Amino acid sequence: MKRLTLLLASLLLASVLSPAAAKDQLHLYNWNNYIAPETVKRFEDFCKCEVVQTYYSDNEELLAKLAAGARGYDILVPTSNVIQPLIKGGQLKPIDKAQLPNLKNIDPAYLNTPFDPGNKYSVPYAMSLTVIGYNDQKIKELGLPTDTWAVVFEPKYLEKIKGRVTVLDSSSELFAAALKYLGLSANDVDEAHWKQAADLIKKAKPYWAAFNASSYIKELTVGNIWLVHGYSNDIFQANLDAQAAKRPFHILHGLPKEGAVLAVDNMVIHKDAPRPDLAHKFMNFMLEGKNSAELTNLIGSGNPNMEALQYIKPDIRKNPAIFPDKAMTSKLEQLKDLTTAQRRVRNRMWTEIKAGR
Amino acid sequence: MPGTSFHSAMTSRSSERFGKWLVSAPPLVYLLFFFAIPSLIMVLASFRTPGEFGGLSPLIEDGKPDLNLDSYVRFFTESVYAQIFVKSVWYALLTTLFCLLLAYPLAALIARSPKKYRDLLLLLVILPFWSNFLIRIYAWMIILGPNAAMARAVNGVLSWFGHEPVALLFSSFAVLVCLVYVHLPFMVLPLYANLEKHDQALLDAAQDLGANGWQRFWRITFPLSLPGVYAGAALVFIPALGIFAIPDILGGPEDSLIGNVIKQQFLETRDWPFGSVLSIVLTVAALVLAGLAAWVGRSQLGTRSSGALSRA
Amino acid sequence: MRRRPVALWAAAAAGYAFLYVPLIIALVTSLVSTVLGTMAGVAMYRYKTRLLPILVLTPIAIPEILMGVSLLIFFVLLNFTLGLASVALAHIAFCIGFVAIVVRARLAGMDESLTEAARDCGATPWQAFRHVTLPLIMPGVIAGALMAFTLSIDDFVITFFTAGAGTVTLPLQIYSMIKIAVTPEVNAVSTLLMLLTLALIVIASKLTPSLLRSD
């Protein structure tokens, strides 16, 4: 017993004395794989500080943690529809534009949004579209269209790919796609329209393999799943993986002509940030074209930074799912947040869909 | 000498009481502080309204406490939640049953093996569970995938009968298999702890008296192992009720369980009060069922332990 | 260009934090919850207290999200800095129940007369416990400790809510990587953690052979 205690005590001691630099630290709370490692290293050299990263995989997780009172983070990277609740909830610190000379690099089309007029709190970071991803070999064999949401919702197409389709496990994304297909706005809040969308979803559900927001990339890469409702950078990733594994097919983006959801992720500063000075330095650094481009080159995310365009790889630059043309851009919509009452109705409908009613 | 025995009887009674407090106080205090109080916060939350921007709206609104039964009413009127709840209970029961059927022989095997191997075997049972939970679930995605050996074998057999190929992955089958896999050690360990103590002499005596293998098991081993069975069942059934990761990753479009719905309330819908209501219902149901099982277990054990206890 | 998860390399640079942090938390959790859980198991079996069983069993029944969020709110109310300690405290709360249940099941199968004989021979309750009861229930205690360790090292939900800004554990890491699909590196790290744990147990058992023997 004594020796066991000794062992444990020495272990604890060793762990406490292990390397823990108390240098200047910037706490970055971000999506995983949403910043290139080279960029982080370069920033650390530039500011002579250490970047401590923690991750979340869902905006809602971020909101829940902050709402319950967690602090210690400097920079957060939420999506635009979540910025409004954060601002109204008093969770953010206003930015000092004087410290951000590189802000001029951002395409004005992405500034001054309804979520944050005047960009008092946020600065655009990267974007993605929610589109269709498909296995080009299989889908061409079956002769299915890839430029319309019909291939996700219409039984006449679905029966050819039964059990080989996944959709996102997000009520807002799926309802948005259904609403767009029905010719309505993704932000429509009419309950009757929601009912129509829900019926459309229920009709198509028996043909879907799963509601999946996480492993569909892998399933696409491996060839188990042939068509997905997914995020453009995930689909880009699946293609990279498929090529690296020398698969005989490509994973391509399908841009639905009815329109799609655009998600813009922004850098914001938490109200209790321990180092707002470092946070501003980081923001300005990421607003530089070269640094911003690194992320796009890494994961195929859209980029609102005009100065970055010259550093982006040509094949990514030409991809219409990553840099949509004017016609497509007019059909894109950013999701707006719902009120509590609306969220409750939506959740009941979603649960009914999931319960098989 | 009467004096001494009375004195020692007195001290033994008070030291008995002291012993009782000594043993039950630390866990009691710890749990009161780190569990009961936080839980009360959430029970209170179930009576509040959700904050417009996440979290909860202020407790005192315009000088009056903002408490209501909205969320409870919702649970009892919108029946879809009760439906999913029942489904989850069913899945948890199935999981417990299969775990019991698989774990019992394994625990018995370990308990009967030579002493020097027992620790090793126990370690082997537990070891995979020190690798990451999510990765193990992912492993099942590979095993049950449509192009993997298992699916091909099953579908090969089915095609002989002219049956359409079935998907093993993204189905209730996948969810159940993984549920059983994940909870197995929690059934094995309590069963082992109990079976290990069984006196071989009892079984030998029974054999001498003419009992065959099955009778020895059913009339001696199994009843004696019931406390272990109940412990294992509790440790499997109760957590299985609330699980959400497995249906999330391996489930099909209709395999949502109550755990998933609760997670949604806290995250996607930001309706913490409703999430609390669902959680409270889940917790109460689990405790009631566990209590029932314990009561049944106690009445069966009654003859053995109550005799010993009445003298203690 | 082969994509590499940022997580692992950054964490490796931070001194393998994501490897030893969960180990420490799990060790502390296992130790404390085994002690408290054994006490609880004995109390529940011997003394038939009313309150304790409820307090012990409910943390197991309650959905982890609820516990995670309520503990987070609680810690914030107390102005308690989130970090290793908050995670450990949270883990201990739900592990006590597991240990208690196993220990109680073990006690139920035990022969009371041995303890009584010891008492009749003049042993104090503590001596009777230490020299008679404890060795007899040791396999149950060890089984409970193993379970507590396993639960802690792999926990995700409660850890997510109670972890501090810099606390990183492997399950948290992996959960955040789910979207980009799990790479072989993650599997390798997971295996590494498992082997490290195994090494720890083996060393411990060599130093204290009596503890792990079943009688």
Residue C188 is assigned to a structural domain of this protein:
no
User: Could you give the number of structural domains in chain B?
Assistant: 1
Least confident among A82-91, A193-202, A284-293, B152-161 = B152-161
Distance from CA of C19 to the nearest CA of A (A): 11
Q: Are A193 and A66 contained in the same domain?
A: no
Using a CB-CB distance cutoff of 8 angstroms, which residues of chain B are in contact with residue C71?
34, 38
Q: Are A347 and A239 contained in the same domain?
A: yes
Residue A157 is assigned to a structural domain of this protein:
yes
Q: What's the confidence (pLDDT) of residue C208?
A: 53
Residue B264 is assigned to a structural domain of this protein:
yes
Whether ipTM tops 0.85, in short, is no
Q: Show the 3-state SS of B275-299.
A: HHHHHHHHHHHHHHHHHHHHHHHHH
Q: What's the confidence (pLDDT) of residue A227?
A: 93
User: What domain range is A211 assigned to?
Assistant: 128-261+335-355
State chain A's mean pLDDT as an integer: 86
Distance of alpha carbon A154 from the chain centroid: 27
Q: What's the confidence (pLDDT) of residue A19?
A: 39
For position C100, which CATH number holds? Answer: 1.10.3720.10
Residue A328 is assigned to a structural domain of this protein:
no
What secondary structure letter does DSSP report for B36? I
Q: Are A315 and A348 contained in the same domain?
A: no
Q: How many residues does chain B have?
A: 312
Average pLDDT over residues A240-258: 90
Among partner residues B26, B126, B196, which is closest to C36 by beta-carbon distance? B26
Cβ pair C102, C143 in contact under 8 A:
yes
Distance from CA of A193 to the nearest CA of C (A): 31
Residue C25 is assigned to a structural domain of this protein:
yes
For residue A51, is pLDDT > 80? yes
Residue B215 is assigned to a structural domain of this protein:
yes
Least confident among A256-265, B237-246, C7-16 = C7-16
Residue A3 is assigned to a structural domain of this protein:
no
Q: Are A223 and A351 contained in the same domain?
A: yes
For position B287, which CATH number holds? Answer: 1.10.3720.10
Q: What's the confidence (pLDDT) of residue A6?
A: 53
Residue C179 is assigned to a structural domain of this protein:
no
Would the CB atoms of A3 and C208 count as touching at under 8 Å?
yes
Residue B283 is assigned to a structural domain of this protein:
yes
Q: Are A108 and A159 contained in the same domain?
A: no
Which is higher by pLDDT, A180 or B230? A180
Q: Encode pLDDT of A55-74 as tens digits.
A: 887 788 788 778 777 788 89
Distance from CA of C19 to the nearest CA of B (A): 12
Q: Are A228 and A271 contained in the same domain?
A: no
Q: What's the confidence (pLDDT) of residue B311?
A: 33
Which is higher by pLDDT, C52 or A345? A345
Using a CB-CB distance cutoff of 8 angstroms, which residues of chain C are in contact with residue A12?
24, 27-28
Q: What's the confidence (pLDDT) of residue C165?
A: 64
Residue C151 is assigned to a structural domain of this protein:
yes
Distance from CA of B278 to the nearest CA of A (A): 13
Least confident among A85-89, A130-134, A328-332, B124-128 = B124-128
Q: At what angle do helices C84-108 and B172-195 cross, to 10 degrees?
A: 60
Within a 13 Å sphere around the CA of B281, how many CA atoms are in the beta-carbon half?
23
Residue C176 is assigned to a structural domain of this protein:
no
Q: Are A204 and A268 contained in the same domain?
A: no
CA of B221: which chain C residue's CA is closest?
C109
For residue C90, is pLDDT > 80? yes
Which of the four pLDDT bands, split at 50, 70 and 90, describes residue C205?
A: low
State chain C's mean pLDDT as an integer: 73
* Residue A289, both tokens: 């074209």
Would the CB atoms of B197 and C110 count as touching at under 8 Å?
yes
Q: Show the 3-state SS of chain A.
A: CHHHHHHHHHHHHHHHCCCCCCCCEEEEEEECCCCCHHHHHHHHHHHCCEEEEEEECCHHHHHHHHHCCCCCCCEECCEHHHHHHHHHCCCEECCCHHHCHHHHHECHHHCCCCCCHHHCCEEEEEEEEEEEEEEHHHHHHHCCCCCCCHHHHCHHHHHHHCCCEEECCCHHHHHHHHHHHCCCCCCCCCHHHHHHHHHHHHHHHHHCCEECCCCHHHHHHHCCCCEEEEEHHHHHHHHHHHHHCCCCCCEEEECCCCCEEEEEEEEEEECCCCCHHHHHHHHHHHCCHHHHHHHHHHHCCECCEHHHHHHCCHHHHHCCCCCCCHHHHHHEEECCCCCHHHHHHHHHHHHHHHHCC
Using a CB-CB distance cutoff of 8 angstroms, which residues of chain B are in contact with residue A88?
52-53
Residue C3 is assigned to a structural domain of this protein:
no
- Any idea what the Cα angle at residue B275 is, between residues A88 and A335, rounded to 5°? 45
Q: Are A181 and A103 contained in the same domain?
A: no
Q: How many of the other CB atoms lie within 10 Å of CB of C69? A: 30
Q: Are A83 and A72 contained in the same domain?
A: yes
User: What domain range is C136 assigned to?
Assistant: 21-167
Long-range contact list for B113-118, CB < 8 A, 24+ apart?
B115/C213, B115/C214, B115/C215, B118/B196, B118/C214
Would the CB atoms of B130 and C198 count as touching at under 8 Å?
yes
Residue B26 is assigned to a structural domain of this protein:
no
CA of A349: which chain B residue's CA is closest?
B80
Q: What is the mean pLDDT of each run of 10 residues along chain B (312 residues)?
A: 50 68 82 85 79 62 65 81 89 93 90 82 80 79 81 82 78 90 88 82 84 81 83 84 84 84 81 83 82 70 41 33
Average pLDDT over residues C58-84: 77
Q: Encode pLDDT of C151-170 as tens digits.
A: 888 787 788 777 766 666 77
User: Could you give the number of structural domains in chain A?
Assistant: 2
Q: What's the confidence (pLDDT) of residue C212?
A: 45
From the CA atom positions of chain A, what is the Rg in Å?
A: 22
Q: Are A104 and A199 contained in the same domain?
A: no
Residue A2 is assigned to a structural domain of this protein:
no
Residue B2 is assigned to a structural domain of this protein:
no
Q: What's the confidence (pLDDT) of residue C207?
A: 58
Q: What's the confidence (pLDDT) of residue B60?
A: 53
| Integer Cα distance of B144 and B158 in angstroms | 16
Would the CB atoms of C61 and B24 count as touching at under 8 Å?
no
Residue B207 is assigned to a structural domain of this protein:
yes
For position A57, which CATH number holds? Answer: 3.40.190.10
User: What domain range is B160 assigned to?
Assistant: 81-306
Pairing type for strands A210-211 and B60-61 reads: unpaired
Which is higher by pLDDT, C178 or A282? A282
Using a CB-CB distance cutoff of 8 angstroms, which residues of chain A are in contact with residue C165?
27, 29, 52, 54, 70-73
Residue B39 is assigned to a structural domain of this protein:
no
Q: Are A147 and A30 contained in the same domain?
A: no
* Residue A348, both tokens: 């009941």
User: Could you give the number of structural domains in chain C?
Assistant: 1
Least confident among A20-24, A212-216, B65-69, C198-202 = A20-24
Reported pTM: 0.79
Q: Are A257 and A277 contained in the same domain?
A: no
Q: What's the confidence (pLDDT) of residue B243?
A: 84
Q: Tokens 């609104």 label which residue?
A: B61
Residue C9 is assigned to a structural domain of this protein:
no
Average pLDDT over residues C168-192: 67
